């Protein structure tokens, strides 16, 4: 695997994109009836998705190979025309799972359990494989940092024009404290589905307004919509941009109070309370925004909002699932365990159900080594009765 990263110079175009027809108005042909598209259909039920949970549990526990995935967060997914699915992860543990269900900080071979900041797991039917840069002895993240004080976490990705376009957020450390790090900028990495272990190219994305443009990507009509988060710690705000066509290398426009602008500084806060990762999916005649509820600190609730358009307003906040792992009263019985960053995978066929993933984590780093099940995604299937 090559250790050379090609950086493409130049920014994303900012000229105003060619306009396309507006989405269907509520009540018009092809849309939900008047008013209903702004409501989350109910009642809502959600149950653990046994198939996906079993798939990743079995793969993570399998010690046939000792350089593959044992757990991660992020959990975006990109379906390809050939039937494969690229699961996109951020922080990733590789290596072996011990007989007691933990990870050894030191393996029998003497090396530490590998940990990298971003990876792919490629699903081909029932088979999974892990993709990273470097070698089994010295694994590296797919998108390596510029130096030891920086790293990239993965955002949403999509397939277009024969490549996978993935959004990534660069973070930087500015001090010695455990929380002395901050978001720095956004980039777009392009990968070949046939040879995805390093980017074909890396491009800067708009980063001047303090918005991480990596939360979600959704194709709707003539545009590709890009969703971001303005993260102020306890307060997080949704922003929306769009690109004419299918590639994020096109000209960007930003949602304003009255329409769209080619100036990122004009981007407005569409709503509060989203996670750093969330999703917007077309589902039964409406756009559903699925996110962890961040209006309450460390909430266990996954909520959905509805809209008649892919850019909002998103209304009718509805709890669709309460994660059972969270806090002292959760299944781990540990106040340090928390869940976060729920989003949907609409390409997964569940007979009208919407598959949603979320991440599980702990504030006690040593617990990641004691119990591999903590740092793995969970999947639920949400069903709406309209």
How far apart are alpha carbons 319 and 184 in whole angstroms? 32
pLDDT on residue 22: 40
In this predicted structure, what is the pLDDT of residue 6? 36
- Phi and psi torsions of 244, nearest 5°: -70, 130
CA 200 to chain CA centroid, Å, is 21
Which are the contacts of 225, defined by CB distance < 8 A and separation ≥ 6? 217, 218, 219, 240, 241, 242, 280, 310, 311
Spatial neighbors of 26 by CB under 8 A, at least 6 apart, are 32, 33, 34, 35, 36, 37, 38, 308
Q: What backbone phi and psi angles, to 5 degrees, belong to 368?
A: -65, -25
pLDDT digits (tens, 9 = 90+) for 76-99: 999 999 999 999 999 999 999 999
Check: CB of residue 77 under 8 Å from CB of residue 345.
yes
Q: Cα(216)–Cα(78) distance, rounded to whole angstroms?
A: 12
Q: All domains of the chain, ordered by start, with CATH?
A: 43-384 (2.115.10.20)
In the prediction, which pLDDT does 111 show? 53
CA 191 and chain centroid, separation:
17
Please tell me the distance from the alpha carbon of residue 307 to that of residue 49, in angstroms, as a whole number: 26
CA atoms of 114 and 71, how far apart (whole Å): 11
Please tell me the predicted confidence (pLDDT) of residue 184.
Answer: 97
pLDDT on residue 8: 33
CA triplet 118, 379, 299: central angle to 5 degrees? 85
Ranges of residues in the chain whose predicted pLDDT is under 70: 1-34, 106-111, 386
Q: Tokens standing for 134?
A: 């470097």
pLDDT for res 179 = 86
CA 31 to the chain's CA centroid: 27
């Amino acid at each position: 695997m090559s250790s050379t990263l090609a950086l493409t110079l130049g920014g994303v175009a900012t000229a105003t994109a060619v306009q396309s027809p507006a989405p269907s108005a509520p009540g018009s042909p092809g849309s939900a009836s008047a008013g209903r598209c702004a409501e989350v259909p109910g009642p809502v039920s959600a149950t653990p998705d046994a198939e996906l949970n079993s798939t990743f549990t079995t793969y993570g526990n399998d010690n046939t190979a000792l350089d593959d995935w044992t757990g991660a967060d992020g959990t975006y997914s990109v379906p390809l025309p050939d039937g494969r699915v690229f699961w996109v992860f951020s922080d990733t543990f590789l290596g072996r799972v011990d007989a007691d269900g933990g990870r050894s900080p030191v393996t029998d071979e003497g090396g530490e359990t590998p940990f990298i900041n971003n990876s792919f797991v490629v699903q081909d039917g029932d088979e999974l494989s892990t993709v990273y840069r470097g070698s089994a002895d010295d694994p590296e993240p797919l998108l390596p940092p510029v130096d030891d004080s920086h790293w990239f976490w993965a955002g949403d990705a999509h397939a277009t024009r024969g490549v996978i376009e993935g959004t990534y957020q660069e973070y930087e450390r500015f001090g010695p404290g455990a929380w002395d790090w901050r978001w720095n900028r956004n980039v777009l990495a392009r990968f070949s589905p046939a040879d995805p272990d390093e980017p074909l190219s890396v491009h800067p994305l708009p980063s001047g307004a303090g918005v991480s443009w990596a939360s979600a990507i959704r194709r709707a009509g003539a545009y590709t919509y890009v969703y971001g988060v303005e993260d102020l710690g306890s307060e997080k705000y949704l922003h929306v941009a769009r690109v004419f066509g299918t590639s994020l290398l096109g000209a960007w426009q930003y949602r304003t109070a009255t329409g769209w602008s080619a100036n990122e500084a004009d981007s407005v806060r569409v709503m509060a309370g989203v996670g750093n990762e969330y999703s917007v999916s077309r589902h039964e005649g409406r756009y559903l925004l699925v996110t962890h509820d961040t209006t309450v600190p460390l909430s266990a609730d996954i909520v959905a909002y509805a809209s008649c358009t892919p850019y909002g307003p998103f209304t009718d906040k509805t709890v669709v699932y309460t994660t059972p792992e969270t806090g002292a009263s959760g299944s781990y019985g540990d106040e340090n365990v928390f869940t976060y960053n729920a989003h949907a995978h609409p390409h997964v066929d569940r007979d009208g159900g919407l598959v949603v993933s979320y991440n599980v984590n702990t504030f006690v780093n040593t617990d990641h080594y004691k119990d591999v099940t903590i740092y793995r995604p969970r999947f639920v299937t949400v069903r709406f009765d309209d």
